[in-house]
């Protein structure tokens, strides 16, 4: 009986450890200037701080994918700001776009890569909180859960460079 309990306990521990090895560990990034916040995988390399302190780029260990979390002062025309984020950039084909309230999402392909862009306005529409994820189209299944997690974690906040009221 004791041997069976020990065997079951060891099997349970092995299952937990195996599941934990596959689970992604996250670090929360907060941009001090604009207040933009989102999660990035803990084992991805964070790029150096740009001179204007608008955000950071995180690169996957195999260097195939990147996440950019940043903020920028939005145009005075909030509707125009959001509408422009839904337009394709050079070489892009947009396959999905959605606008709801103060946020937009656009995703699609650029060559053999998939991109996912999300923008949400905050601080009385003065700040555009941006997220960009790019990865090889051939590795879509590998990145689906990561994109969902990072996109859901994008949040506005208060930054030192913002003088308007933030919610």
Q: Is 114 in contact with 132 (CB distance < 8 Å)?
A: no
* CATH architecture of residue range(s) 25-153: 3-Layer(aba) Sandwich (3.40)
What is the pTM (predicted TM-score) of this model?
0.83
Spans in the chain with pLDDT lower than 70: 1-23, 163-167
Tally of CB atoms within 10 A around 56: 19
Return the domain boundaries, the chain: 25-153
pLDDT, tens digit, 9 for 90 and up, residues 23-53: 579 999 999 999 999 999 999 999 998 999 8
> How does DSSP assign 29-55, residue by residue?
EE-TTT--EEEEETTSEEPPPPTT--E
């Amino acid at each position: 009986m004791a041997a069976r309990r020990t065997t079951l306990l060891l099997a349970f521990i092995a299952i937990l450890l195996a599941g934990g090895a596959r689970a992604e560990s996250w670090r929360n990034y907060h941009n001090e200037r604009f207040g933009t916040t989102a999660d990035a995988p803990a084992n991805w390399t964070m790029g150096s701080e740009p001179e204007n302190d608008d955000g950071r780029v995180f690169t996957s260990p195999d260097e195939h994918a990147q996440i950019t979390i940043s903020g920028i002062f939005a145009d005075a025309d909030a509707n125009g700001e959001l509408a422009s984020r839904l337009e394709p950039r050079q070489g892009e084909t947009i396959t999905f776009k959605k606008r709801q309230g103060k946020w937009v999402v656009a995703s699609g392909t650029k060559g053999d890569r998939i991109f996912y862009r999300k923008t949400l306005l905050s601080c009385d529409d003065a700040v555009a909180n941006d997220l960009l994820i790019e990865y090889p189209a051939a590795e879509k299944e590998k990145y689906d859960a990561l994109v969902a997690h990072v996109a859901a974690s994008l949040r506005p906040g208060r930054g030192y460079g913002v003088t308007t009221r933030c919610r």
